[in-house]
A and B are shown apart, each in its own frame.
Chain A
Amino acid sequence: MAETRTRGRAPTDPPASFVWTRRIVLTLLAVFTLVPVYAMVSSSLKPLEDVQGKFRWIPSEPTIRPYIDMWSTVPLARYFVNSVIVAGGATLASVVIAIGAAYAVSRYRFAGRRVFTVTVLSTQMFPGILFLLPLFLIFVNVGNATGLALYGSRGALILTYLTFSLPFSIWMLAGYFESIPRELDEAARVDGCGPVGALLRVIVPASLPGIVAVTVYAFMTAWGEVLFASVMTNDQTRTLAIGLQGYSTQHEVYWNQVMAASLVVSIPVVAGFLLLQRFLVAGLTAGSVK
């Protein structure tokens, strides 16, 4: 890690003690971070003997069999489809609802505005277990009374998940919308747009980075949720979060397949997140200066 000259930043180069501290500490942190990632990648390429005996750093005979076998050990494809439907549905609904709510919060002063923001945001502080039990009972009993199969349905899970990302999405989008000059939507209004037209034609295009960041966040949230998925799904609607544990409850644990499936499931969200993390940081920064 050779130092590049810092241009117009600090007038002096950092002393050697700082540079060495930085090298050593950051290297250790990188090792700590990457060792599990390495374990995941290397084990996904191992034959079964390798993951049943003593741990090996390098596969004795690299193979892609785990990536083929994992589809038949558990109904992975079904879990995948369920996760895509649930996470996709929750994300779409959450982002659309958040855009509307953020527009109202940033462009209007109305009675109950503060109560709304504070209430919605503070629900996020509550432990999930607190509303898991009642929500479970509500779905079971409402289903009983009306004949609707709520409990175990994808729709109920979508409804639940969309609320998990909603508060952060509203808060972040409201920040983005605030930064767009009101003159822009007023100009659109003069041109004959209604308030909704101004939102769709001016505000949404201008805050696309924020919307993309919020979308990624909402998708990650729904894709990774375990607690509600463990209770509110059945065999047919099970998502990856719970389905992947199926490899471990078999007679043998196919760790190589577990790792292969984990990798395949992780890559879309990790790639999306790393590509778009700048927007997320920008959103956090915008929020913190307000």
Chain B
Amino acid sequence: MTSAKVSAAGAARAEGAAAAHGAGPGGSTGGRRRRRLPGKALPYLLLAPAVAAELIVHVVPIAVGIWMSFKELTLFYIREWSKAPGKGLGNYRVAVDVDGAIGADLLRSFLVTLAVTVLAVGLSWLLGTTAAVLMQERFRGRGPLRAIFLVPYALPVYTAVMTWAFMFQRDNGMVNHVLADQLHVTGGDRPFWLIGNNSFWALVTVIVWRSWPFAFLVLMAGLQNISRDLYEASALDGAGVWRQIRHITLPALRPINQVLVLVLFLWTFNDFNTPFVLFGKAAPAGGDLISVHIYHASFVTWNFGTGSAMSVLLLLFLLLVTAAYLLVTSRRRPAHG
């Protein structure tokens, strides 16, 4: 999960940077004459290892994945995939047939994923923004507090999530101890958190705990770019802290928020590690995120064709959402630059 995190933030931003380069021909080289570095082949040589690695691990597998989604790749054909019979759109038909068992489960998993994502992204963004804005000015304890807030982001996913799994144990976990034994809010019951419907809330809690520090980190970086003069001028005009936050800080964060919310959305929607470590291979319905669902559908039943078709549908959905999101948010925001 960490892999997608920062790099996705980078992705979106650098794409913007690349676009900016395209917009102004010559970019930074426009002003003065620059001696051209010799060796036309050198940049390609330097890029070759990166290109090769990306081709092998990302580009080719995606193409192969699309090919697989039209094949009947069951256990019999996994070691000899060239012999796998074609299935046309059969895999897709199974995946979207909501009257059939597989399609109905996929739809349910999709809706759960959507609910978890919307809730977790909203909360992570809210907590991250609140903390970043409150910590914009220097105060005693700011440095250590910042370090504390970043701990969940720095922890390896599996150690953090295993700790949460321990806390959510029914009989010996901390959560039930606090709720049932110390606060007595459950009426003597010890609810299950990792099976049944409560798993939804357990999952949202863990995801928010893990992802709000990332929002905090990115927004803090963004706050450093706001000019101090704006605050000083508005203070002279009599604006208090709260007015400044509403009218200077939050509007200035909007471009960063555009990228941040998209990135949080994408990696929460694709999150595999959290539910996989929290629940094990088969997640309960309430915490059955789409990646775990596809994983389960592929590796437990060894039906890679259907799994690939589901993955391709997931990719199409994400591309559609990303395109629509960028279109809507960019139109609302006046272009400046």
- Which A residues contact B (CB, under 8 angstroms)? 1-4, 6, 9-12, 14-15, 17-18, 21-22, 25-26, 29-30, 32-37, 39-40, 43, 51-55, 97-98, 100-101, 103-105, 107-110, 113-114, 116-135, 137-138, 140-141, 144, 159-168, 170-172, 174, 178, 182, 186, 195, 217, 220-221, 223-227, 230-231, 240-241, 244-245, 248, 255, 258-259, 262-263, 265-266, 269-270, 273-274, 277, 280-281, 284-285, 287-290
Task: Let me know if A10 and B137 touch, CB within 8 A.
Answer: yes
Contact of A167 among B10, B61, B135, B156 (CB under 8 A): B10
Contact size class for B?
A: 35 or more
Given known pairs A130-B314, A164-B3, the reply for A171 and B54 (CB within 8 Å) is no
Which 9 pairs, one residue from A and one from B, show the smallest C-beta to C-beta distance? A164-B3, A168-B7, A262-B159, A121-B11, A131-B61, A273-B154, A55-B177, A134-B64, A224-B156
What would 20 more interface pairs be, CB under 8 Å, given A33-B151, A273-B153? A10-B232, A12-B235, A34-B148, A39-B174, A52-B172, A101-B50, A104-B44, A107-B37, A127-B315, A133-B68, A133-B304, A134-B65, A138-B64, A170-B50, A226-B277, A227-B295, A241-B156, A248-B165, A274-B147, A287-B13
Hey, which chain A residues are within 8 Å of B64, CB to CB? 134, 137-138
Task: Let me know if A166 and B46 touch, CB within 8 A.
Answer: no
User: Which of these binds chain A: B15-23, B88-96, B104-112, B327-335?
Assistant: B15-23
Hey, which chain A residues are within 8 Å of B159, CB to CB? 40, 244, 262-263, 265-266
Contact of A101 among B47, B65, B295 (CB under 8 A): B47
Task: Let me know if B145 and A30 touch, CB within 8 A.
Answer: yes
Contact of A109 among B29, B78, B169 (CB under 8 A): B29
Cβ of B300 within 8 Å of any chain A Cβ, yes or no, is no
Contact of B139 among A22, A138, A223, A265 (CB under 8 A): A22
- Which B residues contact A (CB, under 8 angstroms)? 1-4, 6-15, 17-18, 20-22, 28-29, 34-35, 37-40, 42-44, 46-47, 49-51, 53-54, 56-62, 64-65, 68, 73, 78-81, 127, 130-131, 134-135, 137-141, 145, 147-160, 162-167, 169, 171-174, 176-177, 181, 209, 213, 217-218, 220-222, 224-225, 228, 231-232, 235-236, 240-242, 256, 266, 269-270, 272-273, 276-277, 291, 294-295, 298-299, 304, 307-308, 311-312, 314-315, 318, 322
Task: Let me know if B150 and A277 touch, CB within 8 A.
Answer: yes
Task: Let me know if A130 and B312 touch, CB within 8 A.
Answer: yes
Q: Can you list 22 A-B contacts (CB < 8 A)?
A: A18-B242, A32-B209, A35-B174, A51-B172, A107-B37, A127-B315, A128-B272, A129-B272, A130-B315, A131-B58, A131-B62, A133-B65, A137-B64, A138-B60, A140-B79, A166-B54, A241-B156, A245-B277, A262-B159, A269-B155, A281-B224, A288-B222
Given known pairs A33-B152, A101-B50, A137-B68, the reply for A3 and B139 (CB within 8 Å) is yes
Task: Let me know if A11 and B138 touch, CB within 8 A.
Answer: no
Q: How far is the CA of A290 from the CA of B22 in the complex (A)?
A: 13
Given known pairs A54-B172, A108-B42, the reply for A117 and B140 (CB within 8 Å) is no
Given known pairs A138-B61, A288-B222, the reply for A98 and B29 (CB within 8 Å) is no
Q: How far is the CA of A12 from the CA of B235 in the complex (A)?
A: 8
Among A39, A167, A231: residue with most chain B CB under 10 A: A167
Given known pairs A1-B141, A141-B79, A262-B162, the reply for A14 and B314 (CB within 8 Å) is no
In the assembled complex, how far is the CB of residue B62 from the closest CB belonging to chain A, in whole angstroms? 6
Q: How far is the CA of A58 from the CA of B230 in the complex (A)?
A: 50
In the assembled complex, how far is the CB of residue B227 from the closest CB belonging to chain A, in whole angstroms? 12
Contacts between the two chains (Cβ within 8 Å), count: 369
Q: Is the interface of A mostly helix, strand, loop or mixed?
A: helix
Task: Let me know if A127 and B270 touch, CB within 8 A.
Answer: yes
Hey, which chain A residues are within 8 Å of B141, CB to CB? 1
Among A170, A171, A182, A223: residue with most chain B CB under 10 A: A171
Closest to B236 in A: A11
In the assembled complex, how far is the CB of residue B104 from the closest CB belonging to chain A, in whole angstroms? 20
Given known pairs A2-B140, A51-B172, A108-B42, the reply for A171 and B10 (CB within 8 Å) is yes
